[in-house]
Amino acid sequence: MLLRNRTPGLVSRLYETRIDAKFRLVTKFDLRRQDCIAGMSRLADESVELAVTSPPYNLGIRYSRYSDRQDRRSHLDWCGEWARQIRRLLKPDGSFFLNIGAAPSNPMLPHELVMTLRGLFVLQNTIHWIKSITIEEFCSHRPVAGQIVPTLQTGHRPVATNARSFGHFKPINSKRFLNDCHEYVFHFTKSGRVELKRMVLGVPYQDKSNIARWRHTRGDDVRCRGNTWFVPYETIQSREKERPHPATFPVQLAEWCIKLHGVSCVETMLDPFLGIGNSAVAAQRCGVKKFIGFEIDETYLMEAKRRIASERRAGRRI
């Protein structure tokens, strides 16, 4: 009776949360030590609702069994090959989330990749994965209700009195370039019209007067999170033991991609560049029914399987 009186958006958000928290399914994993292009070519057309992946960036990262130094044209052509397979496998209402980073010496790579894929997909959303950020303690133009404004101020803009940093980043020792604290997550679809579960990742309004001011809120204290996602890496003591891969994204980043598309909408999820399996762990946490992953490095694949097994044991203790 209580749910019947709530708005459809909030009901959907509660439903997704219940799936995640109470009815977590045991995901069926199909993990293969195989080149992803060859492996995907054997899968049926339109058999995947969701793909979440992060391919090699061609930035000279030291992988165990892959050379990350190709000439630009060869790399983009190769990206086109695996992307065509993903398009063939993706259902008409499916989503493809592609995480890609850059470097000061190679800043155009993410944009060139998007241009390479524009004949295959529609770029529906561009998400900025914020790995580290520094925020001034008082930086809003208009003080929030109840906020104590410092005495020292110019006009009606509060003066920043303290700066706090959050997250982790790899520092750049340069007089020309800034520290690179973000990467892209490009959300591709076939049509550009795939509806998302935006409020599953929703956040409360800071200024509560907006709830009554904006008609679209329908009285709910939740708004779209937007396209800037602060998802820091977990602090670790030993990279070799805890994160034995040179280029990973946090499990939470993949979880948010799954939830944004809609957990209830995903029967099969794909990651053609599995690495140590963070996307697979995210699939397990969200209760995705089936997960397919490809990885050419046996060491990374074994670590992925270990992490999945560990996650399942932890899940049984919840």
Please report, for the domain that includes residue 293, its CATH number: 3.40.50.150
**Residue 89 Cα distances to 85, 96, 124, 292, angstroms:** 6, 11, 18, 12
Beta bridge partners, 96, equal 51, 188
Q: What residues contact 266, with CB distance under 8 A and at least 6 apart?
A: 49, 50, 258, 286, 288, 289
Residues 129-138 have a mean pLDDT of: 86
Beta bridge partners, 98, equal 53, 186
Predicted local confidence at residue 123, as pLDDT: 98
Query: For residue 260, is it within any domain?
Result: yes
Q: Beta strand pairing status for 290-294 and 122-130?
A: unpaired
d(CA 133, CA 125): 22
**201, 256 in Cβ contact below 8 A?**
yes
Chain mean pLDDT for the chain: 83
Predicted local confidence at residue 7, as pLDDT: 42
Residue 141 scores a pLDDT above 90: no
pTM confidence score: 0.82
Query: For residue 165, is it within any domain?
Result: no
d(CA 72, CA 34): 24
Residue 54 scores a pLDDT above 80: yes
Predicted local confidence at residue 270, as pLDDT: 98
Which of 86-100, 124-138, 236-250, 302-316 has the least mean pLDDT? 236-250
Predicted local confidence at residue 159, as pLDDT: 57
Confidence of residue 22 (pLDDT cuts 50, 70, 90): very low
Confidence of residue 218 (pLDDT cuts 50, 70, 90): confident
Question: What letter represents residue 75's amino acid?
Answer: H
Residue 100 scores a pLDDT above 60: yes
Predicted local confidence at residue 215, as pLDDT: 76
Which of 14-23, 104-113, 251-260, 291-300 has the least mean pLDDT? 14-23
Confidence of residue 137 (pLDDT cuts 50, 70, 90): confident
Query: For residue 192, is it within any domain?
Result: yes
- Percent share of the chain, pLDDT over 70: 76
Q: Beta strand pairing status for 157-158 and 122-130?
A: unpaired
Residue 242 scores a pLDDT above 80: no
Residue 265 scores a pLDDT above 50: yes
Predicted local confidence at residue 126, as pLDDT: 98
Picking from 129, 131, 124, 149, the residue whose alpha carbon sits closest to that of residue 139 is 149
Predicted local confidence at residue 237, as pLDDT: 52
Query: For residue 97, is it within any domain?
Result: yes
Query: For residue 66, is it within any domain?
Result: yes
Query: For residue 271, is it within any domain?
Result: yes
Predicted local confidence at residue 219, as pLDDT: 79
**283, 31 in Cβ contact below 8 A?**
no
Residues 151-157 have a mean pLDDT of: 47
Phi, psi (rounded to 5 degrees) for 56:
-55, 140
d(CA 17, CA 264): 11
Picking from 101, 84, 43, the residue whose alpha carbon sits closest to that of residue 269 is 43
Predicted local confidence at residue 205, as pLDDT: 87
Query: For residue 115, is it within any domain?
Result: yes
**180, 102 in Cβ contact below 8 A?**
yes
Q: Which of 157-166, 256-265, 309-318 has the highest mean pLDDT?
A: 256-265
Q: Which of 8-12, 176-180, 250-254 has the highest mean pLDDT?
A: 250-254
Query: For residue 141, is it within any domain?
Result: no
Picking from 303, 312, 241, the residue whose alpha carbon sits closest to that of residue 278 is 303
Domain assignment of residue 311, given as a range: 3-130+187-317
Predicted local confidence at residue 244, as pLDDT: 47
Confidence of residue 127 (pLDDT cuts 50, 70, 90): very high
Residue 12 scores a pLDDT above 50: no
pLDDT digits (tens, 9 = 90+) for 30-41: 999 999 999 999
Predicted local confidence at residue 58, as pLDDT: 76
Number of structural domains, the chain? 1
Residue 254 scores a pLDDT above 90: yes
